[in-house]
Amino acid sequence: MSINAISPVASAAAPQRAGPVAAKAELTREQVAQLDKLKQRDTEVRQHELAHLSAAGGLATSGPSYTYQRGPNGVNYAVGGEVNIDTSPGATPEETIAKARTMQAAALAPAEPSSQDRAVAAQARQLEQRARAELERAYTTSPTRGEIDTYA
């Protein structure tokens, strides 16, 4: 499962250059406005994905990957992205609960989670609920659950 968003993520990485770059003086007003929007979107997307990555901790199976749009200046700008995370259950219900909480935190880490982010968080909540139910079943069927033996 990936935490996917056409979301923000600011990174030290600059937009990727692709081909010849037009001088700013050669751009029309519309192109300059488009370029400003693309630069802003690139920053937002990179910040968003880095928030996911930071909160995912050891569950991240990759760094952020981005989709790009080429600007009128010949530079590619990030307009979407995703971070892949491990969403498999843990070896025990307790481990699964801990993983599910981390998944939820990673999915909801950005200031403005996308609908995909919210869906991942909901799936993680369901995983946590199943693990809690499994723990409860194990506890209630245990022959010694909560019994205290006293010897006189």
For the chain, the C-alpha Rg in angstroms (whole number) is: 23
Kindly give the residue spans of alpha helices, DSSP state H, lying in 11-146: 29-56, 93-107, 115-140
Among candidate residues 85, 74, 71, 82, the one with its CA nearest the CA of residue 36: 71
* Residue found under tokens 């070896």: 91
CA angle 89, 126, 81 (to 5 degrees): 75
For residues 149 and 151, what is the distance between their CA atoms, to the nearest angstrom?
Answer: 7
In a structure prediction context, what are the per-residue pLDDT tens digits for the chain, which is 152 residues long? 566 544 433 333 455 544 455 455 689 999 999 999 999 999 999 999 999 999 999 999 999 999 999 999 999 999 999 999 999 999 999 999 999 999 999 999 999 999 999 999 999 999 999 999 999 998 887 665 555 545 55
Tokens describing residue 101: 């909480």
**pTM (whole model) above 0.85:** no
For residues 65 and 79, what is the distance between their CA atoms, to the nearest angstrom?
Answer: 11
- 3 phi/psi in degrees, rounded to 5: -85, 110
